[in-house]
Structure 1
């Protein structure tokens, strides 16, 4: 079958193109891009005027909760949420129950993703057995089973000698090492950002030093070992000078942030709003500005959702007992689009942060609109305004501070090979 996308704004960071034109797909393969491609009776035509045509997004920080916590999310619902968000590849974190520290768990994830998944799933394995921070997992066997990276996400590997060995070990297998940047000795018991609101609400604060201390240690180990470290979900302005220093020193690293860290501030927790409880916490307006500036400067190269589903029972309780985290697969692109609207990034730079750069971190070839490549793209309407109601959230969990809020920008079409989804989900 032929599919012809007409008059869309075609943006492909892998080719550096941003142009109005047509895109032709035949039998699930990209055939070409041109100003005007004629159709015939055998061609399905999709008009994309005033819409963006992009390679599928690559989100390297997703919690699918499968195995073990399927009441929050599972591979089927999580990947469906990804599809509706225009995310056609997800890398899932290993803090499942049991954690992904053996080839058997990796194989389970891949098998279920093959049977039930809507999009490509890349498992991430644990750095340490049981995520206890003590004994390294068998990176080689995990990679043979299918992992693309290692992380103890949710926990920082506090033992520096263990983390150093992890970096050296990962180097042998060309595996990315993803660090949850939070020193627990500084953040233990913390609920929200340390400052005015933690004092006002009587909640223990999490200081920025917890993030900075972890980042600096990890950068020093990356410098010593020569193995890149990927710094996850950065949130505070104080960390930025150290990223700049690392770049000047040619230390191998990549850095990531999430839309909530450049879209929301700690004010969201007023009224003990558990939907705004995340880890690391939402911070101040000056931190939001610093994160945007770091994206513009290229010090932060990746935007990921940190999609962290939790059930009502884990959110509609006392603030100190509520689980931290928010869903984010369906809001990843709409919220990131604001960086373009506000002039921080142009569309090509934004799509690098959402597609090519995250793919590079986990050492996979990014989706592309190049002729001859498998069709793996979306059509995104940046002008569609809608309310994010619970009925249009595809995740099992609805824990987002954007619930019932007005958003702008939706994915209206997703194509993976010969599979075509028309996603008229925002009403």
Structure 2
């Protein structure tokens, strides 16, 4: 039995001073002034955690994570990635299938489930590939994989063939699964590594055009109109894509989207070309795009936050901006960054941030978590909103050190994380 005393508990959409009692794997009670009594269920054997002045949040959910196992364990493993998640207050994550081998058949999913059961300290779901080998040529067997996956994604590449994408959406619709789409028309990305904007023009190099994202999204939304399939846009990065999603929602189409912390906080004008930790895909876009994405968070067009946690070995990122791989880590920095630079700056409310990190991703994908209430599994994080610290990559539990946010001063430190009543993180 664990009694969390005096915290500001996020219940029914707002923070309220409450005590929270965990019994076994589940939340037993959330009430004011639960007391230890000799003959009560709460007695001297109950562990008490003083949470006065602290936030008690539902465990965060990240639907877009790269755990790199199998195949790339020099970058990350299920064990290290899940520990990084716990340190960031995440209790549920969903892993993308771009491993080696690609997670594109039931046998590989079953092997992955065994690894997860053995090594993960948080709840880990798997997304299955849309096409075999992520090659964009032949669909996987959706029916054989559906019961083992949360959704289907070829993340890292867009499905270039219109008819193949239409068939994928139709298959997903039949199975009541969502497609998580990486929108990138490869005929428009110029095989580049920066946004096509002021910086790329100043350098005299080709950039990744905004059209590579929004034109493929426009195609996909037409296919959603035809098929009625559930569709989730990964890592939205452009103003035009946001406008398309906004209009699709007005139409009542079954669409949703996510945004990363880095696309909310940084633009191409912030890039240090000597530091390949600023290289990701989609790239950091214009300041106009960044401000549009913030507006999308404020007005509810953007549904959730996802980190697109993409660890790489330091030697890989040291190859220079042009040659280094795309991607940055994000699980351990997500909440502190957004709390510090959006909530404390008055751009969004703390309640909106927690909704986008917990309740909304759970409801979008039918997960029985994301809220704190009696009877639910005790997936939660205790956070000190006043604790100030500097992001130091040497403290990371992830193998990846690749973040452009190193050295940033933040508030909002994760103190403890519980998954199904088990403490999986207890400070550094």
Moved over 6 A (4+): none
- Does structure 1 residue 8 correspond to structure 2 residue 7? yes
How many Å separate the matches in 2 of 1:285 and 1:191? 17
Give the alignment partner of residue 200 of structure 1, picking from 196, 199, 202: 202
Cα deviation, 1:53-79, whole Å, max 9, x if unaligned, reads 011111000000011000000100000
Give the alignment partner of residue 311 of structure 2, picking from 309, 312, 321: 309
Deviation for aligned residue 1:423: 2.4
Give the alignment partner of residue 19 of structure 1, picking from 10, 16, 20: 16
- Does structure 1 residue 60 correspond to structure 2 residue 63? yes
- Structure 2 unpaired stretches of 5+: 37-42
Give the alignment partner of residue 356 of structure 2, picking from 330, 353, 356: 353
- Does structure 1 residue 96 correspond to structure 2 residue 94? no
How many Å separate the matches in 2 of 1:149 and 1:20? 37
How many Å separate the matches in 2 of 1:249 and 1:367? 28
Give the alignment partner of residue 212 of structure 2, picking from 210, 213, 232: 210
- Could you say what the CA RMSD is over the residues aligned between the two structures, in angstroms? 1.5
SS of the equivalent of 1:278 reads: coil
- Does structure 1 residue 407 correspond to structure 2 residue 401? no
Deviation for aligned residue 1:143: 2.0
Contact (CA 8 Å) 1:77, 1:395: kept in 2 or not? yes
How many Å separate the matches in 2 of 1:89 and 1:342? 28
How many Å separate the matches in 2 of 1:281 and 1:175? 28
How many Å separate the matches in 1 of 2:343 and 2:364? 23
Cα deviation, 1:180-219, whole Å, max 9, x if unaligned, reads 0111111131111112211233442111111111211111
Deviation for aligned residue 1:84: 0.4
SS of the equivalent of 1:125 reads: coil
How many Å separate the matches in 1 of 2:306 and 2:294? 14
Give the alignment partner of residue 181 of structure 1, picking from 155, 180, 183: 183
- Does structure 1 residue 293 correspond to structure 2 residue 295? yes
Give the alignment partner of residue 77 of structure 2, picking from 60, 74, 82: 74
Contact (CA 8 Å) 2:86, 2:425: kept in 1 or not? no
Deviation for aligned residue 1:45: 1.2
TM-score (norm 1): 0.95
TM-score (norm 2): 0.95
**Equivalent position of 1:136 in the other structure:** 139
After superposing the two structures, state which structure 1 stretch, 185-194 or 255-264, moved more.
Answer: 185-194
SS of the equivalent of 1:321 reads: coil
How many Å separate the matches in 2 of 1:203 and 1:3? 58
**Equivalent position of 1:149 in the other structure:** 151
- Structure 1 unpaired stretches of 5+: none
Contact (CA 8 Å) 1:191, 1:203: kept in 2 or not? no
1:119-130 → structure 2 map (5 Å cutoff): 119-130=122-133
Give the alignment partner of residue 255 of structure 1, picking from 232, 241, 257: 257
How many Å separate the matches in 2 of 1:84 and 1:65? 18
**Equivalent position of 2:39 in the other structure:** none
